[in-house]
Amino acid sequence: MGTARAGFFSFTEVTDPREHRSYNEWHQLDHMPEQYPLPGVLFGQRWVSTPACRRARLVDGPLLAPVHYVTLYLMGEPLVRTLEEFAALGQRLRDLGRFHEHRRSHLSGPFALRQAAAAPRVLVSADAVAFRPTRGVYVVVRDRAAPAPPGGGGRSHDEVERALAEALLGAPGVAGVLRFDADPALAGRRWHPGSRTITLCYLDEEPLSVAGALGAIVGDAAGEGMVFAGPFEAITPWRWDWFDAPP
């Protein structure tokens, strides 16, 4: 898994429908660039659940139903120091008035990177696939506190999720898969990711064109622990009109 050891996720709702443009301008042009000087921050990406992506969700549980965006920062060593400085920077920017107030994160915190794989056709390594350009992602969130999926054959949650990741990796349009687990040692008292896991499929086909096939694969693993499953599109700077009211 190279130098990446964890991913910091934020599943974010913009609480005022008039503020999507200002949120995107703030996040892409101010907030995200400020993270890169921190030690251990390797890469940051954010994707959008457009209205069409929302309609294509397979699982849309109450926890994450309101979200419009998902953000991922890949982090490496020194991981503990990076998380401490990441949190301190967020507070410092807030104190300076450089924080967007019309947002709410419904799930956020550091998740340990447990599995990384790249489809053989893309040639790049598993370590590199997250840095490859993407047209979007397909995101699956599960809660290990719930019973294992039906048909699991007595396998552990880890075995079921590993098998799901491998099945998704073989689907058309999937360039790579990263799988993350909540880790109490990383979260400490600051973040509360619970016992959730996140599987992230990096897509080099249009997300809506492959969402049905990926949903069919995920559906075979659906169970009481499934929190969310659906596509997000890549974001092009200054093209932030997905939620604009029609003229």
Average pLDDT over residues 105-116: 96
pLDDT at position 246: 73
Query: Is 1 or 172 the better-scoring residue by pLDDT?
Result: 172
151, pLDDT greater than 80: no
Listed by start position, the domains of the chain span 6-234
Query: Is 247 or 33 the better-scoring residue by pLDDT?
Result: 33
247, pLDDT greater than 70: no
Average pLDDT over residues 45-54: 98
pLDDT at position 224: 65
Both tokens of 95, joined, read 């104190």
The CATH architecture one would assign to domain 6-234 is 2-Layer Sandwich (3.30)
pLDDT at position 212: 97
2, pLDDT greater than 60: no
Mean residue pLDDT across the chain: 92
**Cα end-to-end span (Å), the chain:** 47
